[in-house]
């Protein structure tokens, strides 16, 4: 995943007219690039066992590519029994913790002396750990695909101004810190420095992918999943903010397939990896969910100020919502020009709902509003 916990920040679309105009001026991905690779590609995936990793591996296997996974062998070890698995430890030991089984020494030996066409790094958060991996892989891998985040942008969640791949990036005092911060305040800056490390080690051969909210089946964060579950429950739903507020997210399967496409086409550069090729409003999203899953839903629209006054957290307690005044847009025209495509949101909603019923299990929800809290806020809203 590109962002841990509830810290993922969203960037939402501008008007459809503006997007249409931008589409006519999509920048070239690169002035020139090597010809597309043909045949089976050897792809190393660092991580690869949760959410985006499996989606990328599945997309690559479906295209006939050869996959190697490198991870600790601790998370979902039974996944993909048909692929090669290398075990090791990319994390540096934390100096403030005991050096024991919970804080093991770094071990990259399994990667030494091997060659791959591309590496997909889904699991990096710290600058030095990217540098360590790059030292082992440089000269042995033709392309480094680094999964970054839209959280690298300074203006994220500060205002509604749009950002593109050249917008100012976050910084922090120590680029080598191993501390994300109590509220993940270092997260965006450290991803920025990880990008720099990958680009320095693979000049002209680094692909920096900056997703926003990644959604769909198997999402462990529940930030999007809470809405398909809410549609299934039916009844009166608290609808957040302005009906015409914009949404941007990307289905994990679309992102995984596009990452494979970037490798096949040998595309380097920096890309905002979020939807859509067009504009989707909050109202369109909610009514699509209703029409797809349960017509026994009704919507009571509650404004941003009320939600903020009552301590409702964006993309935490209230999924798929950011106050309009802070709702920036991440321009995705470079990604679209580089082959990114997006399935209908009805398909993402439907398939996520199916996973809620058959695959998620009954564990506690990490995001989404509890039914009692929703009823209380609706009653308070109506009694103003």
Token representation of residue 18: 């503006």
Q: What pLDDT is stored for residue 33 in this prediction? A: 61
pLDDT at residue 9 above 50? no
Per-residue model confidence as pLDDT tens digits over 118-151: 999 999 999 999 999 999 999 999 999 999 999 9
Q: Is 11 a member of any domain?
A: no
Q: What pLDDT is stored for residue 34 in this prediction? A: 65
Q: Is 215 a member of any domain?
A: yes
How many angstroms separate the CA atoms of 356 and 345, rounded?
A: 16
Q: Is 287 exposed, middle or buried (0-12, 13-18, 19+ CB in 10 A)?
A: middle
Q: Is 6 a member of any domain?
A: no
How many angstroms separate the CA atoms of 142 and 121, rounded?
A: 14
21: part of which helix (H) or strand (E)? helix 16-23
Nearest to 205 by CA among 249, 140, 258, 256: 140
Question: In terms of DSSP bridges, do strands 42-46 and 118-121 run parallel, antiparallel, or are they unpaired?
Answer: parallel
**CA of 229: how far to CAs of 223, 289, 296, 365, in Å?**
11, 10, 13, 11
**CA of 301: how far to CAs of 207, 239, 250, 377, in Å?**
41, 5, 25, 11
Residue 110, beta-bridge partner list? none
For 87-145, give the DSSP string. Answer: E-B-SPPPTTS-SSTTSPPPB-GGGTT--BSEEEE-S---HHHHHHHHHHHTTTBS-EE
Q: Is 7 a member of any domain?
A: no
Q: Is 3 a member of any domain?
A: no
Per-residue model confidence as pLDDT tens digits over 269-278: 999 999 999 9
Question: In terms of DSSP bridges, do strands 42-46 and 66-71 run parallel, antiparallel, or are they unpaired?
Answer: parallel
Question: Domain span at residue 114?
Answer: 16-382
Q: How many domains does the chain have?
A: 1
pLDDT at residue 250 above 80? yes
Q: Is 182 a member of any domain?
A: yes
Q: By percentage, how much of the chain surpasses pLDDT 90? A: 85
Q: Is 20 a member of any domain?
A: yes
Q: What pLDDT is stored for residue 55 in this prediction? A: 98
Confidence band (pLDDT; 50, 70, 90) for 21?
A: very low
Q: Is 5 a member of any domain?
A: no
Nearest to 262 by CA among 317, 338, 157, 175: 338
Look up the CATH number of the domain holding residue 306. 3.40.50.720
The residue-averaged pLDDT of 325-354 equals 97
Nearest to 215 by CA among 251, 248, 246: 251
């Amino acid at each position: 995943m590109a962002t841990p916990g509830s810290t993922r920040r969203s960037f939402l679309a501008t008007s459809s007219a503006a997007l249409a105009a931008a589409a006519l001026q999509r920048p070239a991905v690169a002035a020139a690039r090597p010809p597309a690779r043909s045949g089976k590609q050897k792809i190393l995936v660092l991580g690869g066992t949760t959410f985006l990793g499996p989606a990328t591996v599945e997309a690559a296997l479906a295209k006939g590519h050869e996959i190697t996974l490198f991870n600790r062998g601790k998370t979902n070890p039974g996944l993909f029994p048909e692929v090669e698995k290398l075990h090791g430890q990319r994390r540096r030991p934390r100096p403030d913790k005991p050096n024991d089984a919970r804080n093991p020494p770094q071990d990259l030996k399994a990667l030494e002396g091997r060659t791959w066409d591309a590496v997909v790094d889904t699991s990096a958060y710290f600058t030095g750990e990217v540098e360590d991996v790059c030292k082992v892989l440089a000269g042995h891998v033709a392309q480094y695909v680094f999964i970054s985040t839209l959280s690298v942008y300074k203006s994220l969640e500060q205002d509604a101004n749009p950002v593109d791949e050249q917008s100012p990036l976050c910084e922090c005092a120590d680029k080598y810190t191993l501390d994300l911060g109590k509220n993940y305040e270092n997260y965006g800056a450290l991803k920025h420095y990880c990008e720099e490390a990958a680009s320095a080690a693979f000049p002209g051969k680094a692909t920096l992918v900056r997703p926003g909210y990644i959604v769909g089946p198997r999402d462990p964060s529940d930030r999007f999943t809470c809405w398909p579950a809410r549609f299934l429950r039916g009844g009166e739903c608290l609808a957040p903010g302005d009906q015409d507020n914009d949404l941007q997210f990307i289905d994990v399967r679309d992102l995984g397939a596009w990452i494979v496409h970037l490798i096949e086409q040998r595309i380097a550069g920096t890309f905002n990896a979020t939807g859509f090729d067009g504009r989707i409003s909050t109202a369109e999203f909610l009514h699509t969910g209703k029409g797809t899953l349960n017509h026994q839903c009704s919507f009571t629209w509650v404004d941003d100020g009320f939600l903020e006054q009552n301590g409702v957290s964006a993309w935490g307690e209230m999924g798929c919502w950011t106050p309009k005044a802070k709702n920036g847009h991440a321009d995705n025209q470079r990604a679209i020009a580089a082959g990114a495509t997006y399935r209908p949101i009805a398909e993402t909603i439907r398939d996520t709902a199916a996973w809620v019923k058959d695959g998620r299990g009954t564990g506690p929800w990490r995001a989404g509003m509890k039914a009692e809290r929703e009823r209380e806020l609706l009653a308070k809203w109506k009694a103003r």
